[in-house]
Structure 1
């Protein structure tokens, strides 16, 4: 069964075109903390083109530290739904909290934990990196 999701106001909904197993990870970088207004953000990597959105999407793009990112937001409530980044060509980074089944998600790894909030305790046994892991190490962790 395909996975579905939506923005906060429901003006944009989406379906994942393929029935993919999702490997969700938590990012604790300062950008994710600021954008989410929380201690971390939950993401899932998808092959580009897997997500099919309906509704008005607004784009926000920026360059930082030599990387280019393009973010897709609801044109009404501005919920961030996904982004692409030159750090991960051919992939989309889904904001996993926008999935309809988000309460059932469990992160399989944590990145940028050098910025983790000091009151947050991470589960033992899950891969965690102070910054971004190497692509190979990250792929291995996401495979579970």
Structure 2
């Protein structure tokens, strides 16, 4: 009869106090003195379970990372598609966009950019007066020899926006003014609803240094002579104010003998100019005065 042969893979010895010494290199150290586990060369090809678990972990992790990168790539494509679609649409300046950082004007079909005073064609334009903002980025010209009117405005809006007791403004027609780069680099502020859009009437300033340039109306502009380059004192006399408006809101009394209107000139009552002997000082403290005349 044939004798049964033990499997060459593993031989488990029964638990007994006897000790066995295996000198073969294909042995594993037994967990106890009573167990010996010989390992055949074939068993070396079997991957331990811990390595199998780790292998599965790394496979899952690798798959997850690949899926994440794929998701990121898909999101990136979607974002690029949205940006391309947004770029294709005509842009207009929103109510919350000031342009104060870069001074850039949004491209779009905004007709006012091609009309006076923002049209850039100066071929038939006579440059009588030159003006520029404090930093020099905004440069413009006036073609009329003298302004239509010059006024000091004492309204509280001008006081706040100019940081001064009153505003010095010269009135011109829109066609009398040209900007070197059109509307580029300009910031707009619509005072009635406090929005930073080009909505008439609006205040115009340099988007970089914030120098006030003008007040733009529907037909006229009030440019501020402080930005005009005057050759001498005689040139500056051309811009000498004829009257004061909104004088009822003044913070300082002016003694120059010029008409002082409580609101708009010709559409409100005149205010009597106090003499120096009638007041303790020139600064108005508290509520504005309304000294009316019968003129």
TM-score normalised by structure 2 residue count: 0.39
SS at match of 1:49: helix
User: Map of 1:61-140 to 2, 5 A cutoff?
Assistant: 61-63=190-192, 68-85=200-217, 89-101=218-230, 104=236, 105-118=239-252, 120-124=253-257, 126-134=258-266
State the alpha-carbon separation in 2 of the partners of residues 113 and 53 from structure 1: 32
SS at match of 1:45: strand
The answer as to 2:146 corresponding to 1:21 is: yes
SS at match of 1:127: coil
| Superposition RMSD in Å | 2.3
Alpha-carbon deviations, 1:26-45, whole Å to 9, x = none? 00001111111111010011
> Greater Rg, structure 1 or structure 2?
2
Specify which structure has the bigger relative contact order, considering alpha-carbon pairs within 8 angstroms and separated by 6 or more residues: 1
Shift of 1:19: 2.8
Equivalent residues of 1:24, 1:96 under 8 A apart: no
Using a 3 Å threshold, how does the CA distance of structure 1 residues 114 and 62 change in structure 2: closer, same or farther?
closer
Structure 1 residue runs of 4 or more that deviate by more than 6 Å after TM superposition: none
SS at match of 1:35: helix
State the alpha-carbon separation in 2 of the partners of residues 59 and 35 from structure 1: 12
- Name the one with the larger helix percent: 2
> 2:5 is matched with which residue?
none
TM-score normalised by structure 1 residue count: 0.76
State the alpha-carbon separation in 2 of the partners of residues 114 and 97 from structure 1: 24
Structure 1: any 5+ residue segments left out of the alignment? 136-144
